[in-house]
């Protein structure tokens, strides 16, 4: 399989064919590391969306009738193909989105694992038998697919997020129209190539690339759309929810986070420092689960702060393909400007800059979108740094006098995705587990996602609809039929 060339054009994938957009236009994808061209994707139109929707609609009956075990087999094949091409795909990911190669390879490996997990779903149970009070009857549930599912994904995990939506969608019997984020659509195109090579029947999986406000909108309006799963910004997510509600279809949203880490007085400080740096600066902070507020009890505040700064100074920033680089650039010029804007605002509002705060300069950095690992202190709960999702390498340190205050501060946000605590106190752990308003609760571990076999999602403004990943994904991608059969 031809997985990578230096500069290539990814076509739309519709009804098992790689086709150019009706517009005849392409969009250039630029590396945030050095502004080199990574490739081109189609600038699609309403007509392309229509073709993809028609193909998915025509394919849905047969795909469902094929049965779950047979559908699982295709995912096994796709997993093997992805695994064989893991390195070149990870390289494209690093070039296009900027994250360090080790992280990119980790993401592709995770994609393989997710595919195998859902391939195994092919032979797991499809429903339940429920005792009926009528001894001559059989009462049972069966799962049915939604039909055509729209998948709209962001640029920060262009391999793992499309896979963790498409794999359950497909195994549970849905057909898919994927609209990947434009900024990393070359990489996602490589993933779709793996599915295509697995020999899926015509129309089961379709990909259309191009501007979200044009083709995403067309997808949402399309009469054949039966469900939509979206990961991205809060604004677009709310729009998706409104459109889906108007159409009366199911929707699933994964949006932002403002994830707190509490460092209690009895914490293992070295462990907490490492976890905070990983959580805040890996992927250049461009993760919905990134650590952004670090709430530290005063008894250990100075000690923790010193160690954190000392270790943060050792972080190597650069082109993610260079060996030893730990943190890459921001994923785009937009993102770079947005993060610098938040830093400026933090200074204006009176937070104290302890480390970083600037764009990196010099021959290695001038062509890319690099920002220094940045740490602020003196961040109060009403400041922008404590309230808005930054999606960049910025930590807000917040000092509190006790555990109760820490929990209150951690919950003082509209978001509720991931939260961590570092402590050895069992009572505090139990209380944290109950009181914290997040979907992901982590103890002595960085704020982060979870293994693919466990549910992923948030509370409050972070998520809507059923959880993603693991068995929980079934709740969104299927609907229950309750069947009563009388002798
Ligand atoms: P968005 O601008 O929301 O883009 C996400 C996807 O939606 C992209 O594919 C985009 O297409 C598409 N889109 C844009 N406008 C649309 C519209 N009107 N109708 C339908 N689709 C539309 O976000 P982003 O820039 O990719 O990611 C950054 C934000 O997403 C952050 O705020 C972060 O919190 C959030 N995020 C959350 C998570 C999770 S797991 N909760 C993960 C990643 C990111 P284009 O690329 O063509 O614009």
Instruction: Calculate the CA dihedral of residues 422, 424, 425, 427 and round it to 10 degrees.
Output: 70
Kindly give the distance from the C-alpha atom of residue 462 to the centroid of ligand 1, in angstroms, as a whole number.
13
Show the CA angle centred on residue 15, arms to residues 11 and 19, nearest 5°. Answer: 25
**How does pLDDT run across 395-451, given as a tens digit for each residue?**
999 999 999 999 999 999 999 999 999 999 999 999 999 999 999 999 999 888 789
The most distant pair of C-alpha atoms in the chain lies apart, rounded to whole Å, by 80
**How does pLDDT run across 39-49, given as a tens digit for each residue?**
999 999 999 99
Determine the Cα–Cα distance for residues 181 and 213; give it in Å rounded to an integer: 11
Q: Flag the least confident range among 207-211, 369-373, 450-454.
A: 450-454
Q: Helix or strand or coil: residue 451?
A: coil
pLDDT of residue 206: 98
Q: Say yes or no: CB of residue 179 within 6 Å of ligand 1.
A: yes
- Mean pLDDT value across the chain: 96
Q: Say yes or no: CB of residue 114 within 6 Å of ligand 1.
A: no
- CB-CB contact of 8 with 156 (8 Å): no
Orientation angle between helical segments 185-197 and 86-97, nearest 10 degrees? 160
Residue 15 — very low, low, confident or very high, per pLDDT cuts 50/70/90?
very high
Helix spans in 66-209 (H): 68-84, 86-97, 101-121, 160-171, 185-197
- CB burial string 228-258: b at 16+ within 10 A, e below: bbbbbbeebbebbbebbeebebbbbbbbbbb
**For a pLDDT cut of 70, what percent of the chain falls above it?**
99
- C-alpha dist (Å) from residue 252 to 151, 256, 438: 10, 14, 17
Q: What is the mean pLDDT of residues 204-227?
A: 97
Kindly give the distance from the C-alpha atom of residue 31 to the centroid of ligand 1, in angstroms, as a whole number.
19
Residue 7 — very low, low, confident or very high, per pLDDT cuts 50/70/90?
low
Q: Say yes or no: CB of residue 232 within 6 Å of ligand 1.
A: yes
Shortest CA distance to 468 belongs to which of 251, 181, 221, 148? Answer: 251
**How does pLDDT run across 87-146, given as a tens digit for each residue?**
999 999 999 999 999 999 999 999 999 999 999 999 999 899 999 999 999 999 999 999
Determine the Cα–Cα distance for residues 286 and 267; give it in Å rounded to an integer: 26
- At a CB cut-off of 8 Å and minimum separation 6, what does 182 contact? 27, 29, 41, 155, 209, 210, 211, 212
Examine the pLDDT at 462 and tell me if it is beyond 70: yes
Q: Helix or strand or coil: residue 416?
A: coil
pLDDT of residue 2: 40
Q: Say yes or no: CB of residue 346 within 6 Å of ligand 1.
A: no
Determine the Cα–Cα distance for residues 204 and 484; give it in Å rounded to an integer: 31
Catalytic residue (one of 254, 372, 389, 446): 254
The residue with greater pLDDT, 403 or 1, is 403
Residue 371 — very low, low, confident or very high, per pLDDT cuts 50/70/90?
very high
Give yes or no: 246 in active site: no
Examine the pLDDT at 1 and tell me if it is beyond 80: no
Q: Say yes or no: CB of residue 181 within 6 Å of ligand 1.
A: yes
Q: Helix or strand or coil: residue 393?
A: coil
**How does pLDDT run across 227-261, given as a tens digit for each residue?**
999 999 999 999 999 999 999 999 999 999 999 99
pLDDT of residue 447: 80
Determine the Cα–Cα distance for residues 63 and 281; give it in Å rounded to an integer: 42
Examine the pLDDT at 160 and tell me if it is beyond 60: yes
Rg (CA), the chain: 23
- CB burial string 460-473: b at 16+ within 10 A, e below: bbbbbbbbbbbebb
Sign of CA dihedral 276, 278, 283, 288: negative
Residue 3 — very low, low, confident or very high, per pLDDT cuts 50/70/90?
very low
Element spanning 307, H or E: helix 298-312
Kindly give the distance from the C-alpha atom of residue 237 to the centroid of ligand 1, in angstroms, as a whole number.
8
- At a CB cut-off of 8 Å and minimum separation 6, what does 467 contact? 439, 455, 456, 457, 473, 475, 476
Determine the Cα–Cα distance for residues 91 and 187; give it in Å rounded to an integer: 9
Examine the pLDDT at 452 and tell me if it is beyond 60: yes
- CB-CB contact of 423 with 269 (8 Å): no
- C-alpha dist (Å) from residue 390 to 64, 109, 282, 342, 479: 42, 27, 14, 7, 36
Instruction: Determine the residue of 232, 240, 258 to mutate for testing ligand 1's pocket, defined as the one with the most ligand atoms within 8 A of the Cβ atom.
Output: 232
Q: Say yes or no: CB of residue 288 within 6 Å of ligand 1.
A: yes
Residues in the chain: 487
Sheet holding 418-422, edge to edge: 352-355, 374-377, 394-400, 291-297, 259-263, 418-422, 440-443
Kindly give the distance from the C-alpha atom of residue 230 to the centroid of ligand 1, in angstroms, as a whole number.
8
Examine the pLDDT at 5 and tell me if it is beyond 90: no
pLDDT of residue 450: 86
**How does pLDDT run across 134-156, given as a tens digit for each residue?**
999 999 999 999 999 999 999 99
- CB-CB contact of 60 with 148 (8 Å): yes
């Amino acid at each position: 399989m031809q997985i990578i060339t230096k500069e290539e054009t990814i076509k739309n994938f519709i009804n098992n064919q790689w086709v150019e957009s009706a517009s005849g236009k392409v969009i250039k994808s630029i590396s945030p590391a050095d502004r080199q061209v990574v490739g081109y994707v189609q600038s699609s139109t309403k007509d392309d969306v229509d073709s993809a929707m028609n193909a998915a609609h025509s394919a849905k009956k047969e795909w469902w009738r094929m049965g779950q075990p047979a559908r699982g087999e295709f995912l096994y094949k796709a997993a093997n193909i992805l695994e064989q091409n893991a390195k070149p795909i990870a390289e494209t990911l690093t070039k296009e989105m900027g994250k360090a190669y080790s992280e990119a390879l980790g993401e592709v490996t995770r994609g393989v694992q997710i595919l195998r997990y859902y391939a195994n779903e092919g032979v797991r149970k499809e429903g339940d038998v429920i005792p009926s009070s009528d001894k001559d009857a059989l009462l049972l549930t069966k799962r049915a697919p939604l039909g055509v599912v729209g998948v709209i994904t962001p640029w920060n995990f262009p391999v793992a997020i499309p896979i963790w939506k498409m794999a359950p969608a497909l195994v549970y019997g849905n057909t898919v129209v994927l609209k990947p984020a434009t900024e990393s659509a070359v990489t996602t195109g490589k993933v779709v190539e793996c599915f295509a090579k697995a020999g899926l029947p015509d129309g089961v999986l379709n990909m259309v690339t191009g501007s979200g406000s044009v083709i995403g909108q067309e997808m949402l309006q399309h009469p054949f759309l039966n469900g939509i799963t979206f990961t991205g910004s809060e604004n677009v997510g709310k729009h998706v929810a409104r459109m889906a509600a108007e159409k009366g279809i199911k929707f699933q949203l994964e949006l932002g986070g403002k994830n707190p880490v509490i460092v209690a007085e009895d914490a293992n400080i070295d462990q907490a420092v490492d976890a905070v740096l990983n959580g805040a600066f890996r992927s250049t902070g461009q993760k919905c689960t990134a650590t952004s507020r670090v709430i530290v009890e005063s008894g250990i505040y100075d000690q923790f702060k010193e160690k954190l700064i000392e270790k943060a100074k050792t972080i190597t920033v650069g082109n993610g393909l260079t060996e030893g680089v730990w943190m890459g650039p921001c994923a785009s010029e937009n993102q770079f400007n947005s993060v610098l804007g938040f830093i400026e605002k933090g200074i204006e509002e009176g937070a104290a800059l302890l480390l970083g705060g600037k764009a990196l300069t010099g021959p290695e950095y001038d062509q890319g979108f690099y920002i220094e690992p940045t740490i602020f202190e003196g961040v109060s709960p009403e400041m922008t740094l404590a309230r808005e999702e930054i999606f960049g390498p910025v930590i807000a340190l917040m000092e509190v006098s006790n555990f109760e205050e820490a929990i209150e501060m951690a919950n003082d946000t509209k978001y509720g995705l991931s939260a961590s605590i570092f402590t050895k106190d069992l009572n505090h752990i139990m209380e944290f587990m109950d009181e914290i308003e997040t979907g992901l609760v982590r103890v002595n571990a960085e704020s982060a996602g979870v293994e693919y076999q466990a549910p992923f999602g948030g509370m409050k403004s972070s998520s809507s609809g059923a959880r993603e990943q693991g068995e929980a994904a079934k709740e969104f991608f299927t609907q229950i039929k309750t069947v009563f059969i009388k002798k």
